[in-house]
Structures are given as structure tokens and as C-alpha cells.
């Protein structure tokens, strides 16, 4: 099970996805190959064995990056597995570097790194529950 976070451009004044006026056209993040190269800054050592899929392995967690099939990328999806605040810090660094916002796919809301990481902590609690062998009913 992974925590999924969508990175894409949203208006800076939006505090929630509901604050985004419709219709809204998200700005492109760039060419897929150039974006993969830029992601080496917030995710040092990330490996892109496929042009659309990169994997970063941290201490106790991993982040899989899905750039999608289109050559021009307008969003990317992060699949976070494992725990640790380092994963959250790296996502924050990626949003800063790319000039994008992060959406918690579980809640559908924009992450506010300064105030709360409720989706991450909720996912970690669920992840710990699901992965504890002593809790197994089998």
C-alpha cells in the first residue's frame, strides 16, 4: 500500500482544491526527459529505468515517481512507501523546486507543509496497521 501524492501547478492563493476556479488549465511542468533530470535535485540518486517511472530509495522509505505517458508533463504522481518524515521533507523540496503544489490523493486536498501533514500521518498509521504481522488474522 502506498500514499499517493499528485504534484501539479495550482494557483498560489488556493488553500483547497475547491478554491480552484473551473475550468482551470494547469501549466505544463516541461518535457518528460528534462523533468526527470530536474528531479535528481530533490531526490538524489533517483533511478529512471523507464522514461515514465523513477524510483528513489531513502532510509526506511521509497518514492516511486510516475511521469505519465505524454512527452509534455502537466503533473506527476508520487507513490510513497514506508515511513519517516524524510519522505515528507523530500516531497516539500520537490514542490519548491518545481513551483507546484501537492495534492493528497487520499483526501483530495492540497498539502500544507507548514501547518499539517494529516494525510501522511493517517496513511502511516494505516500502513503500520496493515503491515504488522502480529495483527494478522491468519
Would you say residue 4 lies in a domain? no
Does 21 or 115 have the greater pLDDT score? 21
Would you say residue 103 lies in a domain? no
Would you say residue 120 lies in a domain? yes
- What is the pTM assigned to this prediction? 0.79
pLDDT interval class at 110 (50, 70, 90): confident
Would you say residue 119 lies in a domain? yes
Q: Is 68 left (phi over 0), alpha (psi -120 to 50) or beta?
A: left
User: What grid cell was written down for 56?
Assistant: 528513489
In the chain, the number of structural domains is 1
For residue 112, what is the DSSP state?
B
Summarize pLDDT for 18-57 with one digit per residue, the tens.
888 788 888 999 999 999 999 999 999 999 999 999 999 9
Burial-class residue 30 by CB neighbours within 10 Å (0-12, 13-18, 19+): middle
Would you say residue 78 lies in a domain? yes
In whole angstroms, what is the distance from residue 31 CA to residue 34 CA?
5
Rounded mean pLDDT of 63-76?
95
Would you say residue 123 lies in a domain? yes
Domain that holds residue 124: 28-45+57-98+111-131
Task: Map residue 72 onto helix, strand or coil.
Answer: strand
Asked whether residue 133 carries a pLDDT value surpassing 80, the answer given is: no
Amino acid at each position: 500500500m502506498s500514499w499517493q501524492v499528485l504534484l501539479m501547478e495550482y494557483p498560489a492563493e488556493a488553500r483547497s482544491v475547491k478554491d480552484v476556479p473551473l475550468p482551470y488549465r494547469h501549466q505544463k511542468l516541461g518535457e518528460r526527459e528534462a523533468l526527470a533530470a530536474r528531479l535528481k535535485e530533490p531526490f538524489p540518486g533517483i533511478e529512471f529505468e523507464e522514461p515514465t517511472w523513477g524510483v528513489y530509495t531513502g532510509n526506511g522509505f521509497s518514492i516511486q515517481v510516475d511521469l505519465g505517458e505524454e512527452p509534455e508533463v502537466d503533473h506527476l504522481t508520487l507513490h510513497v512507501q514506508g515511513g519517516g518524515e524524510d519522505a515528507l521533507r523530500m516531497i516539500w523540496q520537490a514542490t519548491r523546486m518545481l513551483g507546484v503544489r501537492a495534492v493528497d490523493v487520499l483526501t483530495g486536498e492540497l498539502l500544507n507543509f507548514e501547518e499539517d501533514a494529516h494525510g501522511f500521518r493517517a496513511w502511516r498509521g494505516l500502513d503500520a496497521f496493515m503491515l504488522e504481522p502480529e495483527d494478522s488474522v491468519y
